[in-house]
Structure 1
Amino acid sequence: MDKKLFVTMMLFIVIYMVIPWVLSRIFSLGVFRRGQAGHQEVAFTFDDGPDPVYTPLLLDMLKERGVRATFFVLGSKAEKHPELIERMHREGHLIGVHNYRHLSNWLMAPWTVERREVKRSADIVESITGVRPVHYRPPWGVLNLFDYRLTQWFTIVLWSVMVQDWRSHVGKTTMKSILLKRIQDGSIVLLHDSGDTIGADQDAPLYMLEALKDVIAELASRDYQFVRVDELKTKPSAAGAARRIVVTAWLMWERALIRLLRVKPIDHENTLLQLRVREYRGRSPLQLADGEEIKQGDQIAELHLDNYLLYELGKSSSSSVHLAIQLVRRTESLMPRIMQLIASDPAYKDVKGLYGISLIHRGTKQLGFTVLDLPKGVFSHVTRLYLRLLLSIIHPRGKDRLKEKSELLVPKIIAISRKELMNRYIA
């Protein structure tokens, strides 16, 4: 396998799969995994239904014992069994979304997950109950990088207690023992009311139901309250702490990626802009304002922002306007340095111009850049999602900034030819 292709594939796996797994499973970032202790509460949650055989039995048992629970349903099954969805709602249970089909988010494009799996399923449940679900649990608890975008509309719920109730051989006795040992105050318990998904045994829910009856009875004797996920008490400071950890993890990743790509700062005192030389791989030539053209195969100096510095500037800025002013001033001061570098450094002798993709492109025309639309397609969509996610992390107002004039937050190509750079910034 070609080395560049292998590195690209590894980068994709790390960015798209590994990072979100670490953030959600280890740091509980952007997800809800347990309630606050001190309230003697436990939330039972059930995935993969509704099932025409086992879900009615489960609902009967919960009703007899006065237990309200949370169901993360598959949209495809909700369509087939609307009467069960209606009954869940009528009997006071919380209904969340578990995709339209039981497929891993790692194996789907981000827009497929958002539109065809999550929002489509929410539409189905809302059409049955009149209430739109606002809680989401991905199959197997697996998130891809862009699933964090879903937090604009949904609370992503994982779990703190799991027993392999999808396996029949675990049996009632073992399930009961594990659940009573692991359940604590504030626990979110993962269970399944269907056994027809990949890796599950068809009759496994039967053993889960038998074990659960005894577990509920035992926990009730200990004065536990059985609540829905949205009724669990949460820590007030959790969001702020989670954001700090997200930022730290993200910036560590950014630094590692910069080293891997051999991106170098133009000025070690002002590291806002960084460069690396590579071939332009776009299919369509870039027509620049001064008449120059950058074609596929031409050498370019690719612009990168120092996101660590950007985050630090954001923290110290009193407003978005103040941050923008700082960025413009720093960029203006660096343009002559870039010109000198390209004119004198042998590594840049064949570079035809500067090239970058950024959400922060307003004001670049006055610096000599041509601003162009990204060609429509998969790359454009993924780039927009990535940069919006990055902006939500590094911007001082986080996700709130994305809600203001979001139509303006579109990534653009910014490029300036070598000739224009020399003419404009020559000493």
Structure 2
Amino acid sequence: MKSYLLGVWNTLDPLYYSFSRLKYVKDLEKNRTLFRVRLTRYKGRSTVLKDGTVIHKNDLLLKIHLHNVKIMNELYAVTSDTRRAVYIYHMVKRAMPMLAKYVKNHYRYNDIKGIIGITSLHNGSKRLGFDNITIPNPVYRTYKQMTFTPINYIASSSRHEEPMYLFMSKDELVNRYGLED
């Protein structure tokens, strides 16, 4: 059943991508990384990040989406949740320098305040430099938890963490992962 659902997801993902305004972040060889991104205006409560950056309502952020189909295809044969988590952590870590380069080269670089994502895969995210912020609105948090149910099912994850915002300031991203030109 899971392989069938993954096949359907593989088929529908290009359609979703075409309607979502997402753009791929590419590596040095122009291959697609596991990040897909778009600019967004933050609509939540003001929050202070660990580096002192304050994110206010309507600040311009780069919203990051993990390319879940790509991840699931690569992890299909891995059955241990622990191994999956470690593998995903390293996939994200390898893609972060390309995300930093994407932001540094973006025509709105001076306007972008940071990056944001929403995920239930937040174990290890602090080691990557993210701030984990609880989604304060219980209705939105429940909605996001429901939308993550299919990916959790396909991923065979026995752990269903609550979704959280992941934030990183632009300065933290560039200082931590920026490639020297």
Report SS of the residue matched to 1:254.
helix
**Could you tell me which residue of structure 2 aligns to residue 77 of structure 1?**
none
Alignment of 1:340 onto 2:101: yes
Report SS of the residue matched to 1:346.
coil
Which of 78, 81, 89 is equivalent to 1:317?
A: 78
Which of 236, 252, 266 is equivalent to 2:11?
A: 252
Whichever residue aligns with residue 413 of structure 1, its letter is Y
Alignment of 1:361 onto 2:122: yes
How far the C-alpha of 1:390 sits from its partner, in A, is: 2.2
- CA distance in 2 between counterparts of 1:261 and 1:330 reads 23
Report SS of the residue matched to 2:16.
helix
Q: Say which structure is richer in strand.
A: 2
Alignment of 1:277 onto 2:39: yes
Report SS of the residue matched to 1:272.
strand
**Could you tell me which residue of structure 2 aligns to residue 392 of structure 1?**
153
Contact 1:278–1:301 under 8 Å retained in 2:
yes
Q: Which runs of 5+ in 2 are unaligned?
A: none
Report SS of the residue matched to 2:8.
helix
- CA distance in 2 between counterparts of 1:354 and 1:346 reads 15
Contact 1:251–1:307 under 8 Å retained in 2:
no
Structure-1-length-normalised TM-score: 0.39
- CA distance in 1 between counterparts of 2:159 and 2:101 reads 37
- Residue 388 and residue 315 in structure 1: after superposition, are their counterparts in 2 closer, same or farther (change >3 A)? same
Contact 2:119–2:164 under 8 Å retained in 1:
yes
Q: How many residues align?
A: 176
Report SS of the residue matched to 1:271.
strand
Detail structure 1 runs of 4+ shifted over 4 Å in the superposition. none
How far the C-alpha of 1:420 sits from its partner, in A, is: 1.2
- CA distance in 2 between counterparts of 1:341 and 1:300 reads 13
Report SS of the residue matched to 1:325.
helix
How far the C-alpha of 1:266 sits from its partner, in A, is: 1.2
Deviates further, 255-264 or 352-361: 255-264
Contact 1:280–1:296 under 8 Å retained in 2:
yes
Contact 1:270–1:330 under 8 Å retained in 2:
no
Report SS of the residue matched to 2:63.
strand
- CA distance in 2 between counterparts of 1:269 and 1:322 reads 25
Alignment of 1:411 onto 2:163: yes
> Which gives a bigger RCO, structure 1 or 2 (Cα 8 Å, sep 6+)?
2
Q: Which runs of 5+ in 1 are unaligned?
A: 1-239
- Residue 318 and residue 391 in structure 1: after superposition, are their counterparts in 2 closer, same or farther (change >3 A)? closer
Contact 2:6–2:69 under 8 Å retained in 1:
no
**Could you tell me which residue of structure 2 aligns to residue 20 of structure 1?**
none
Report SS of the residue matched to 1:316.
coil
User: Identity rate of aligned residues, in percent?
Assistant: 24
Q: Say which structure is richer in helix.
A: 1
How far the C-alpha of 1:312 sits from its partner, in A, is: 0.6
CA RMSD of aligned residues (A): 1.9
Structure-2-length-normalised TM-score: 0.87
